[in-house]
Amino acid sequence: MAEFALDLNDDQKAVREWIHGFAADVMRPAAAEWDEREETPWPVIQEAAKIGLYSLDFYAQQYFDPTGLSIPMVMEELFWGDAGIGLSIVGTALAAVGVLANGTEEQIGTWIPQMYGDANDVKVAAFCSSEPDAGSDVSAMRTRAVYDEAKDEWVLNGTKTWATNGGIANVHVVVAVVDPELGSKGHASFVIPPNTPGLSQGQKFKKHGIRASHTAEVVLEDVRVPGHCLLGGKDKLDERLARARERAKKGGERSEMGVPPAGGRGSVKNAAMATFEASRPAVGAQAVGIARAAYEVALDYARTRVQFGRPIIDNQGVAFQLADMRTRIDAARLLVWRASWMAAAGKPFEGAEGSMSKLFAGETAKSVTAQAMQILGGNGFTREYPVERMHRDAAIYTIFEGTSEIQRLVIARTISGVHVR
């Protein structure tokens, strides 16, 4: 187990510089165009694939870093470049994490490579959990998966929403209800292979921010997948459901909104929440990257903008804002790095450290980008400067992957031992 340290090693520093160069030279010049077009930036993703940045091998190397710091470092640099394009590049990773968190070794080896394709034929993947009536409340999920024993197939019906890459993905990972009586404990994850009949794209959303990232509904109508597409396998699912039923008979507490009660590390795992728990620090790192980018624009502007015969940074009202912005960014990064190291070291989140990192980083991105706009004044409100786009992009980080309110609920339940509602 690697000791927690704040110094990146030489390999990590080299990777950071490499990604920073790609973000500065390729992503930033294209950011405004793809934000306006509100389309997936396939040429940029392909450029990332050509240099090995968008590939299974690259993310596997970062994922298995024993320090845990490589993934948040990568996320921060990419989202410093641009959040919309960044999410188009890393959106596949959420589906990959869904397979890693719930799948067998064979499933991991089979499906994750198909999520990325190669530099000549780039693919993307989608993780589909949220529904029109089941966002934070995953126990309200209605998409059903019914097992056809005679054919060893699962039949899925329902509608998913807010799916990154939904409908355009080569591989979809879908969370569905297999036992409605067990609430959120009766869910399972399924891989929907490419070109499976019955899966279609529904509404594509026109969003406030991260507009270069494709977000849409995914409609499932009698979608049939082979039994081996159930992540983890049927034997494992049957064992998990049996444990959940036994707990229910004994009057065990069933968590609402998919959030386990404090101290519940031995509780039955929910398929969607296992994915979100693993990804929260990485999402926090994305927010740190957006905040850092906005802070740097504001700092440069304050040094060069002259009013009343002197740069505006000479004024305490501006300088103190920048001091607070930098302090919050550094604090957010430290929380993200701590949670990432704990996850890599196999240490339990006894204080809900993963949720803490995502909560604080998301709130920081939202506040820092707003302060950056304020420092730029009228210029900050125009699209001539990037902080307007960064502010729009930051807004989602208090909403997706668990709202700030849900993160606070997780933290409160964990630190109190009380099933706070």
Distances (CA, A) of 189 to 13, 162, 177: 36, 17, 9
Which amino acid does the sequence have at 370?
Answer: A
Q: Where are the beta strands (DSSP E) in 32-164?
A: 117-118, 121-122, 125-128, 144-148, 153-164
Choosing from 33, 36, 401, 405, the catalytic residue is: 401
In the residue annotation, 384 being an active-site residue is answered as no
DSSP letters spanning 123-156: --EEEE--BTTBSS-GGG---EEEEETTTTEEEE
By the 8 A CB rule, do 86 and 54 touch?
A: no
Burial of residue 136 (CB within 10 Å: 0-12, 13-18, 19+) is middle
Closest to 394 in 3D by CA, of 419, 420, 371, 368: 368
Give the C-alpha separation, 264 to 226, whole Å: 33
At residue 306, the 3 state secondary structure works out as: strand
Give the C-alpha separation, 237 to 178, whole Å: 9
The rounded Cα 11 to chain-centroid distance in angstroms is 25
List the catalytic residues. 401
